[in-house]
Chains A and B, each alone.
Chain A
Amino acid sequence: MDVRQGTLALMVLKTLDVLGPLHGYGIARRIEQISGDLLAVNQGTLYPVLLKLEQEGAIASEWGSSENNRRARFYRLTRDGRKQLQSETRDWEQTAAVIGRFFAVKAEDLK
């Protein structure tokens, strides 16, 4: 499944919210796990998304050291990012509820 950029950004924010600061590979792995291997290929598309989020001020980055004791860039959620996550989560839940109601409707209910 090809994931749209908007939803990928949301996933990144949620991941960082739940798991705290991570580097790029870590985020990719977690998203892969949570989405059930749906984000299996084209992990590289993550990086432009990370750039966009950073430019918007939703996340911040800094150098740190990874598990291999190598230099890696770690991303963390900012206050603005948390706010953005909350509002988008609300939007998604609302949308999902409305759509769900539509899918649950049967012909007889509308007569």
Chain B
Amino acid sequence: MRTLRRFLMRLLSWTSTTLDEDRLKSEIEEHLALQTADNLRAGISPAEARRQAVLKFGAVESIKENYRDGRGLPFFEAWLQDTRYALRRLRKSPAFTVTVILTLALGIGATTSIFTLVHAVIMKSLAVANPAELYRLGKESRCCYWGGFSQEGEFSIFSYDLYKHFRDHTEGFEELAAFQAGGALFGVRRSGSTQAAQSYPGEFVSGNYFTMFGIRAYAGRLLAADEDRAGAPPVAVMSYRLWQQQYGSDPSVIGGSFSLDQKSFTVVGITPPGFFGDKLRAIPPDFFLPLASETLLGTAGDLNQPDQYWLDLIGRIRPGAAPASVEADMRVELKQWLRSHWADMDANDRVKFPEQTLFLRPGGAGITSMREEYEHWLEVLMMVSSFVLLIVCANVANLMIVRGMERRRQISLSMALGAQASRLVKQALTESVWLSLAGGVAGLAVAFAGTRLVLHFAFPHIAGMGSVPISASPSMPVLLFAFGISLFTGIAFGIAPAWMATRVDPSEALRGASRSTARTGSLPRKTLVVFQAALSLVLLAASGLLTAALHHLENQDFGFLQDRRTIVRIDPGLAGYEANQLSTLYGRIHDSLSSVPGVWDAAAAMYSPLSGNNWGAGVWVDGQPPPGPHDDNLAFWDRVSAGYFEVIGTPILSGRGIARQDTATSQPVAVINQAFARKYFPHQNPIGKYFGRTEMQSSRVYQVVGITADARYLDSAFDKPVGPFFFLPEPQHDVSPHDGKDIDPGSHFLHDIVVVTQPGAHVSAAQLRQAMASVDPNLPIISVQTLKEQVAGQFRQQRLIARLTSFFGVLSLVLASIGLYGVTAYNAARRTNEIGVRVALGAHRAQVIALVLRGAIGLVAVGLVVGLPVALAAGRFLGSQLYGLNPYDPWVILLAVLTLEFSAFVASLIPAVRASFISPLDALRAE
């Protein structure tokens, strides 16, 4: 009770400081006066009286201090005082303060922003209820369509029939939902609107999708399980984002009628804001439709084909059920299901039957295709930003040491006057803490801006569409970690010099530091510079390698021409076109576009090069035995209109390309690329020979009429040469001679119209759009992009990584140079006397410069020796990111080394030159 009262009184008395000071003073004066009077009365002389009174009283100042410690809040007051002092000192050296805060901000900000991204992409949970209870089928995602009855490694994509089998037989799942593995684009128009349809991303999902996720509608209602059946009225759920941005949260949308791909749907509700579906995507879906409606909209009727795999499965496990046993049960069910389709399986599938298995994995993060795609990138970025943080800390440490040394004399003086060592160290501590705090706050701003910047470049926002559901706010744990590191550095390197200074005998310190010959002061700084140089080398080498790899990627021989070519992306399915209307449509599009002034020609393709997708086929060469289950007979293919190769600029090496003579009734033909010829027709002339497809169970379907140069269509495996590829004519249908059925009806919906313009002509996107509109105003145009942009878009991430790494490489170089400059200047200053003597004895200016430079270059050389093995290891680590570039590329490493040495040279030149101007007289006179 007494202590509490005391504390309160202390708190209150804090407000009356001056009054109390005055009071104490007058009380002490009074005491002394009375004592003096008594002494006088006792007969002591006046001078002695006062002196004895004071002696009897004791050390006045000390007692006053004791008194002061008793009132107020001395700890807090001391801290305030230190703060004010520290701020004043920091203000007086703006260069130091700004440099430290900036470097700290960059280090903390960069690290936080990268780690936030990593956290979001790798660890983000779905915006659903209890994500920890969710389990998905499949270790890795397989996208987006698969056929046959076998999947290598694991069954990770499923057909509707197989899903139903699992759903109805697996006890362990409380709720098992299925949803489209890929995505779909729907041409959407509100009923009654006269505007052209807009295309929006959407997804087919099972009726229990939302129930399984535990999601409640924001408005209206979500899908019910019984709506997902054939014959049910078509309904759809809209995303909150679209509802808000496009329809202004108009309540009449709910229950309203919309036409999706010319079919009528009722929007029954809105998903909650923040729900982004079942996987992290650059553009989240805006529409969710029941699986059953796929027969209305889908082009191939995937729903009812048991061997068409296009669904991912996620379910909520029954409480108490063990995932391992559920997995075992499902494996048995898979085998059961496969056996029930034994009659439909071909020979290869039957051979592979025993290997078929599946895996159950935690599904809280949904389908992690984005993580799988970017994981290595993010690891690289994490390493880079960690390096940057280390370099920044080294720089801050360096600067703090310098500052500490400047204060040495002052500290010695203070100690001589009676200051306590602990108080002096506390002062240094306060300054460091404030500096680190400021750096941390600035770092927060940098982190926020940095994350937004990286997201902007990695996932560019398309107007009207949703944006990637990654928040740019820095994640707290990362921020605290980075902040903690810099705080620790600031404190450690702020206190250490101060503490060391208080150990020195004040008289020795005040006598003059330069008289001592000890050189130990700069060893920690030298170590820091070496450390920085090593890390900078690694970053420079890494950025050099990445940039070189990027250059290789972007300037490779793609096999087609990018100049003067524009891609108009359409989806006739969205406008409700039927397969038999397509040829006419493409003809009209060709004529309309060709008539635009400046356009030389146009052609259509299912997919233009590097557009992100391609279809695969199993090749069966005529005259060869049918490919076995483990034979590699995969080839990718494209369907193109007449004159395509001239338009896209791929040279035809022999025979001819696809031409007008290839009609629906003429001989089915194919044009192959060199890789195909080499692989499937080695040492022969393929022209005139036949091949077929295992899916069609025939080896005599297409006649080879031409060979083109290898061109890159697939956007993966850039480090490997182009694989086998073949092209089929637009009007011809892949009818199997075996059973007369068209196996790829959907392949006639060509997506990309390639337009090539005359040299020197300028054709705008608006003109092209207009030409398209004159063919059919209701055909939505998904995008108009130059082929250059499309190709460049494929390398967006690589470019971003290369740029980021280069930026950090340059940054670290600058920081290392600053550190080196400081150390060299300091060392040169310390050697002033020595240099003066040397000059007096006849040394030339050049020799002095060389003397100083030697030390500096030597330091960097040590750093190089340390950093080189790490740089080589980093090259190894980058591995596949280099797309075949040699990670030990000597030119890149050499360039990095030279860059580092050159900046070291420049950084140390200035102090060296200044040192060379020292006149012996000044040197010897100076202290």
Contact = CB atoms under 8 A, between A and B. Distances in A.
A28 B31 contact: yes
A47 B63 CA distance: 8
A24 B33 contact: no
A27 B38 CA distance: 14
Interface stretch (B5-13, B345-353, B622-630, B901-909): B5-13
B549 to A, nearest CB: 73
Interface stretch (B53-61, B313-321, B719-727): B53-61
Size bracket, chain B contacts: 20 to 34
Interface stretch (B66-74, B262-270, B517-525, B760-768): B66-74
Given A45-B58, A47-B67, A71-B30, 16 more contacts: A23-B30, A24-B30, A29-B38, A41-B55, A43-B31, A43-B56, A43-B57, A44-B57, A44-B58, A47-B24, A47-B27, A47-B28, A48-B63, A51-B67, A70-B33, A73-B30
A41 B57 CA distance: 6
Interface stretch (A52-60, A90-98, A100-108): A52-60
B461 interface: no
Nearest to B67: A48
B77 to A, nearest CB: 16
B2 A51 contact: no
A77 to B, nearest CB: 15
A10 to B, nearest CB: 14
B654 interface: no
Interface in B410-435: none
A85 to B, nearest CB: 14
B37 interface: yes
Given A55-B70, A56-B2, A56-B6, A44 B30 contact: no
Instruction: Classify the secondary structure of B's interface with A.
Output: helix
Interface string B611-637: 000000000000000000000000000
B50 to A, nearest CB: 15
Contacts of B69: 48
Given A25-B34, A55-B10, A66-B30, A41 B70 contact: no
A-B pairs, 6 with minimum CB distance = A42-B58, A44-B63, A44-B58, A55-B9, A25-B34, A44-B57
Contacts of B26: 71
A48 B66 contact: yes
26 contacts: A23-B30, A24-B30, A25-B31, A25-B35, A40-B56, A41-B58, A42-B58, A43-B31, A43-B58, A44-B28, A44-B31, A44-B58, A44-B59, A44-B60, A45-B58, A47-B27, A47-B28, A48-B63, A48-B66, A51-B71, A52-B70, A55-B13, A55-B70, A66-B34, A70-B30, A70-B33
A107 to B, nearest CB: 43
Contacts of A47: 24, 27-28, 63, 67
A55 to B, nearest CB: 4
A47 B56 CA distance: 14
A72 interface: yes
B33 to A, nearest CB: 7
B407 interface: no
Contacts of A24: 27, 30-31
B397 to A, nearest CB: 42
Interface size class of A (residues with CB under 8 A): 20 to 34
Contacts of A25: 30-31, 34-35
B650 to A, nearest CB: 93
Given A42-B58, A44-B60, A45-B58, A68 B37 contact: yes
A28 B26 CA distance: 16
Contacts of B63: 44-45, 47-48
Interface in B1-51: 2, 5-6, 9-10, 13, 23-24, 26-28, 30-31, 33-35, 37-38
Interface in A59-86: 66-68, 70-73
Contacts of A44: 28, 31, 57-60, 63
A40 B58 CA distance: 10
B27 A73 contact: yes
B27 A68 contact: no
Nearest to A63: B23
A98 to B, nearest CB: 25
A11 B5 CA distance: 22
Nearest to A72: B30
A73 B56 contact: no
Given A41-B55, A43-B56, A47-B28, A68 B34 contact: yes
B5 A55 contact: yes
Interface in A2-50: 23-25, 28-29, 40-45, 47-48
Nearest to A27: B31
A52 B6 contact: yes
A73 B23 contact: yes
